[in-house]
Structure 1
């Protein structure tokens, strides 16, 4: 799928954003909610804590195909990743990613019976990155409207996976 270098590039795009919008299907209707990354690196898998009793957990178990998006409008970074989700309750994994931020959400601590990690194995995605200012982007759009053969240069765009 992606080379180690490309995975590092994706990680560099999303690590500072850290909160992505997870899209699951709720009776066939897409539904999104924020999820906070808990890992220190990206190897093709994303990790998030969740409650087993949360609707997103039931939705991800019913249809493992999910999408997660990250965006930083000020930096011009947008990443969309699609993959397969599953819930994990391994105490070793829970310990590995545990931190004070997570602890605030689980009254029973690491032993909370409702705690789980959502593992998302990424199959494919796409990212956009514009290093240019908004003024430059508006200039590119205006130039494209004047010169019909000119397409605006809005920055880097790359698809990855299958």
Structure 2
């Protein structure tokens, strides 16, 4: 697959993966929390809504490196990049949704509400096209022939 083909495939996979396991590398070491992704941009910029007072927001201020992993029934995505805490009320209002409201009552005007922007530096995916049946067939083939598991794999660097 071409670099653009890998990128397009990655974006399509992520359409059904709204929740990331978001890992920061602050002074207390690695810490992972679930975070709801707000949008996937073709230019590898991702947005998250969070509270300014959280441990992961403080960790990003100390060390912007992050790792994110996403999964669905038959695909997995791993991303690395740099995160930044962004105070942009217009962007926050644009991305605001009922899910954010559940975690941060008061809407985008809540003084604790803030954005995290992640600029993706590298992404990797594993996809088992055909879903569960194809995965079972591939697993059976592996057991019978000793060949490796069939999965589409790609690496994307913006």
Please classify the TM superposition score into its range, dividing by the shorter chain length.
Answer: 0.7 to 0.9
- Give the TM-score normalised by structure 2: 0.86
Whole-Å Cα distance in 2 between the matches of residues 8 and 96 of structure 1? 25
Whole-Å Cα distance in 2 between the matches of residues 46 and 40 of structure 1? 6
Residue 157 of structure 2: aligned partner: 161
| CA deviation vs aligned residue, 1:97-138 (integer Å, no higher than 9, x gap) | 011221222222211111111000001121000125332122
SS in 1 for 2:139: helix
Residue 54 of structure 1: aligned partner: 54
Residue 43 of structure 2: aligned partner: 43
Shift of 1:14: 1.1
Deviates more, 1:136-145 or 1:77-86: 136-145
Shift of 1:37: 1.2
Counterpart among 102, 105, 125 of residue 104 in structure 1: 102
Residue 137 of structure 1: aligned partner: 138
Whole-Å Cα distance in 2 between the matches of residues 65 and 40 of structure 1? 19
Shift of 1:91: 0.8
Residue 65 of structure 1: aligned partner: 65
Whole-Å Cα distance in 1 between the matches of residues 61 and 23 of structure 2? 13
Whole-Å Cα distance in 1 between the matches of residues 39 and 136 of structure 2? 35
Shift of 1:26: 4.1
Shift >4 Å, 4+ stretches: none
Shift of 1:7: 3.9
Shift of 1:70: 0.5
Gaps of 5+ in 2: none
Given the superposition, is the C-alpha separation of residues 121 and 153 from structure 1 closer, same or farther in structure 2, using an over 3 Å criterion? Answer: same
Whole-Å Cα distance in 2 between the matches of residues 128 and 160 of structure 1? 12
Q: 1:7–1:43: 8 Å Cα contact kept in structure 2?
A: no
Shift of 1:161: 1.1
SS in 2 for 1:104: helix
